Amino acid sequence: MGFFLKLIVFLPLLAAIVAGLFGRWIGKTAAKVVTTGSLFIGALLSWPIFLHYIGGSAGPVVVPVLTWIQSGTLTVDWALRVDALTAVMLVVVTTVSSLVHLYSWGYMDEDPSQPRFFAYLSLFSFAMLMLVTADSLVQMFFGWEGVGL
């Protein structure tokens, strides 16, 4: 489950980086495919996690990513936490975000800066997923601020 969770959260970030930095070279269509595809993959991967928690007997799972802040006795780890509510929100966020990406294909068809738009949209989706899977208040704050941008 930990590998799936990391893919769900970090694929939109990777897609945003690819579309944002290399959008001119890969073209509009490739930027749309990379960003939308990453969210559809995340949506597909979030369903098994949701089905794991639907019975209500599974406890929370914490997937460590790295140690973020360490000062004296204070240690703040960057970790992804999954419980029943998080599983529901993973399905909602990834499914709605992937459908918004898909709708934007036609809506933004004539816009010359499509790769940048899709990069920002994927970055927003990453921030929302960080907010949903936050294991600490510091991490939740960064997710909240990312959604607010």
The pLDDT averaged over each successive group of 10 residues in the chain (149 residues) is 92 96 93 96 95 84 89 89 94 97 91 92 96 91 91
pTM of the model: 0.91
3-state DSSP assignment of residue 111: coil
3-state DSSP assignment of residue 99: helix
pLDDT (0 to 100) of residue 1: 79
DSSP state of 106: H
pLDDT (0 to 100) of residue 34: 97
pLDDT (0 to 100) of residue 26: 94
Under a CB-based contact definition with an 8 Å cutoff, are residues 146 and 124 in contact?
yes
How many CB atoms sit inside 10 A of residue 91's CB?
17
pLDDT (0 to 100) of residue 136: 86
pLDDT (0 to 100) of residue 10: 97
**Residues sharing a CB contact under 8 Å with residue 96, sequence separation 6 or more, in sequence order:** none
End-to-end distance of the chain based on CA atoms, in angstroms? 30
Nearest to 90 by CA among 68, 61, 66: 61
